[in-house]
């Protein structure tokens, strides 16, 4: 049951070991055993934070690792995808969400860049994905009461954890930092998988 609970939680978003410990209510040594079994089976992977390098997050290895039927959908006013610069990951996530769900969507950055990354524009063009914004936007200019925040980068999640409390955290590696079209394709595929998993669970309020 513990491993199923961990898998169910990770289907929606990434979690730190301490967050999973709080969720399942086990001592750290017992949880570490269960996580080790899941990692060895190739069902989950552990990533070091791109923000606070002392932290690690666990994520599903693939969509094939999902478990069971979805629960009753949650009604939300709007989904807002957040990353630090709002130049790539959050822009792509919002565009993918708009294709997958009728729930309103926006994107923003905690420290927005001056422009959308060229790599994000190129991968959107290759994938026939229509970006929703022409320039990055500050979270303070976008967020409103009732928004369902999804942090799609470690830095944004860690910045917001003590204030805005994102509903979900997706630890998607920064394609701008990595550089090259392959990194943006990887981010696109990761985000598409995550959007597909979460979109059926949310409905417009």
Contact assessment for residue 44 and residue 38, using Cβ atoms and an 8 Å cutoff: yes
Output the pLDDT for position 51. Answer: 85
Q: Max Cα separation, the chain?
A: 48
Is 122 or 6 the better-scoring residue by pLDDT? 122
Q: Spell 67-100 as b/e; 16+ CB within 10 A means b.
A: eeeeeeeeebebbbbbbbbbbbbbbbbbbbbbee
Output the pLDDT for position 47. Answer: 87
Read off the tokens for 156. Answer: 């944004």
Output the pLDDT for position 134. Answer: 93
- pLDDT tens per residue, range 89-118: 999 999 999 999 999 999 999 999 999 999
What pTM was estimated for this model as a whole? 0.87
């Amino acid at each position: 049951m513990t491993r199923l609970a961990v898998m169910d939680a990770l289907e929606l978003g990434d979690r730190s070991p301490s967050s999973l410990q709080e969720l399942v209510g086990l001592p750290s040594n017992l949880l570490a055993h269960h996580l080790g079994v899941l990692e060895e089976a190739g069902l989950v992977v552990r990533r070091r934070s791109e923000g606070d390098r002392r932290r690690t997050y666990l994520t599903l290895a693939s969509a094939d690792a999902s478990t069971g039927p979805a629960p009753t959908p949650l009604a939300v006013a709007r989904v807002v995808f957040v990353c630090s610069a709002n130049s790539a990951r959050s822009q792509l996530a919002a565009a993918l969400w708009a294709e997958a769900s009728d729930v309103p969507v926006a994107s923003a950055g905690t420290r927005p860049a001056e422009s959308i990354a060229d790599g994000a524009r190129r991968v959107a063009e290759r994938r026939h994905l229509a970006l929703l914004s022409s320039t990055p936007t500050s979270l303070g200019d976008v967020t409103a009461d009732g928004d369902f925040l999804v942090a799609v980068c470690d830095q944004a999640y860690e910045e917001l954890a003590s204030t805005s409390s994102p509903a979900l955290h997706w630890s998607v590696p920064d394609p701008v930092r990595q550089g090259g079209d392959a990194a943006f394709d990887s981010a696109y595929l990761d985000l598409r998988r995550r959007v597909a998993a979460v979109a059926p669970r949310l409905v417009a309020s």
